[in-house]
Amino acid sequence: MRPVEVRRRPQQACTPRMQALARLPVFFDLDGKRAVVAGNGAAVAWKAELLSAAGADVEVFAEQPCEELRALAAEAPRAPLTLRHRAWRIEDLDGAAVAVGGFEDEAAAERFAAAARTAGVPVNVIDRPAHCDFSFGAIINRSPLVIGISTDGAAPVFAQAIRAKLEGVIPRGFARWAEAARRWRQAVQSSGLSLAARRRFWQLFAAYALHHPAHEPAQGDLEALLENTQQQGADIGTVTLVGAGPGDPELLTLRAVRALQSADVILIDDLVSPDVLDFARREAKKMLVGKTGDGPACKQDEINALMVALAKAGRRVVRLKGGDPLIFARAGEEIAACRTAGIPVEVVPGISAAQGAAARLAVPLTQRRDIRRLQYVTGHGADGRLPQDIDWASLADPAATTVVYMAKKTIGELAARAIASGLPPDTPAVAVAAATRPQETVIVGTVSNIGAKLAGSSLPGPVLVFIGRVFEHVKGAAIGMESVRAPRAAVRMM
């Protein structure tokens, strides 16, 4: 009997809530404002230098200023720095934008913080988090591009290590491009481009800057980017089919991340891990249009129509699919719908579920000498049943590795048919559920018993079944894997 289809309409998905923040990263505009610094020593001098570099008029209160402070006063990085050769007083805090103190004595630190808060001035007391309204963190300066890194005081050395890593991958030329963006913003605003076209301009700008960080931005670059934006017809929408990978968001490609960050609307399959959406543009509208086996499902024709309608309205549409969009994901129907409607369509490949699962097991899917073919088979036909036109002889080929997608309900029947076609019953078979995700589960068996093992289990997420001799030693590998990544995966030997 054909399974009853439960229909559902495309529905808006909620943007994932921001995870808890130890600190809110904010950037103060201190240009021309007064900053009070109290205390002495190299750490105090460093904070005073940061405040001057940010444009604040800095007053430092120190009875006997150290050499670093005296040198800083003589040559401040940006705004003037004035030394007051005395202790701070409560009235010194009046009208200050921020206050920073450095004290060896706890009571002195507490008194300074209390006075600043009474005066309504945000305060930072160096190395005393309990007395801080804000913290500085590690800074990467490509001004006007500025990046701050904070560990909430838990591991300053770790923050410094991350800063050093980022310093190496962010060219210093980005400062020139960030400054060019500031200079050109008004010209772009008054160019007559629509809102969608202006966003397209800045996407082209960012792409060019990333590829030419050492180039000095010039007026000709602005004119070329404006002309390119107009030629591309920014008001014409596009569709991009994006592979979200098997689940672990770290397996997203750079092109996938760029597509997600430039999307107006994201149409999401149920198999996509929610963590992937952390990389999406937060302003993008997110809609669930997926299918869940025998559960509620959106009609493919409705998905196609929605996708085309959104693109015709000028939206940049991302069709986000689990794994790779070209493997058992109905990409052909969606590409055809776009081409028929004259909508530009692009495909961003993703790491397939099979690749992700095999990588976690550390098992190569082919071997140079004796496993020379890799084949993907679906265990779920258009009617919800096992397809009857599978090449059963190919499943019995000892030189092949077979990956069965959507196998949870039909793997027993598929295995029986493969055995009847000559596949040895003791051929290794491995089922992987929720591959690469924290709840990943692995069940090891043979082709003769994998169906029964799956039927007796409750597995999370999508399930793949691997069949082939390359998995002969997967049990030992899985046990070792469990000990290495116990917090992330459950490996079940059944």
Which residue out of 57, 221, 264, 269 is catalytically annotated?
A: 269
Based on the residue annotation, tell me whether 221 is a catalytic residue of this protein: no
Map out the domains of the chain as residue ranges. Answer: 34-136, 174-231, 238-351, 354-493
Secondary structure (3-state) at 25: coil
Pick from 255, 252, 248, 256: which is nearest to 275 by CA? 248
SS3 76: coil
Among the listed residues 57, 92, 221, 291, the single catalytic one is: 291
Residue 60 contacts residue 125 (beta carbons within 8 Å): no
Reading across the β-sheet that carries 11-13, which strands appear in turn? Answer: 11-13, 285-288, 265-268, 316-321, 238-243, 345-348
How many alpha carbons lie under 13 Å from residue 41 in its C-beta half-sphere?
Answer: 10
Domain 34-136, CATH among 3.40.50.620, 3.50.50.60, 3.40.50.720, 3.40.50.150: 3.40.50.720
Looking at the domain covering 354-493, what would its CATH class be? alpha beta
* Rounded alpha-carbon distances, angstroms, from residue 97 to 53, 55, 56, 87, 490: 15, 12, 9, 19, 53
Decide if 56 contacts 28 (C-beta within 8 A).
no
* Two structure tokens written together for 321: 């699919």
> Would you call 33 a catalytic residue per the annotation?
no
Report helix, strand or coil for 418: helix
Task: Please give the chain's pLDDT, 494 residues, in tens.
Answer: 454 455 667 777 766 677 788 888 889 999 999 999 999 999 999 999 999 999 999 999 999 999 999 999 999 999 999 999 999 999 999 999 999 999 999 999 999 999 999 999 999 999 898 999 999 888 899 999 899 998 887 778 888 888 888 888 788 888 999 999 999 999 999 998 888 788 889 888 988 888 888 899 999 999 999 988 887 655 678 899 999 999 999 999 988 998 998 889 999 988 888 889 888 988 889 998 876 555 567 888 999 999 999 999 888 899 999 999 999 989 999 999 999 999 999 999 999 999 999 999 999 999 988 899 999 999 988 788 898 889 999 999 999 999 999 888 899 999 999 999 999 999 999 999 999 998 899 999 999 999 999 887 778 778 999 999 999 988 633 433 332 333 334 444 33
- Compute the distance between CA of residue 188 and CA of residue 267 in angstroms, rounded to an integer: 30
Domain 238-351 coded CATH 3.40.225.10: no
Measured distance CA(288)–CA(309) in Å, rounded: 16
DSSP helix/strand/coil, 315: coil
Q: What is the rounded CA–CA span in Å between residue 104 and residue 330?
A: 66
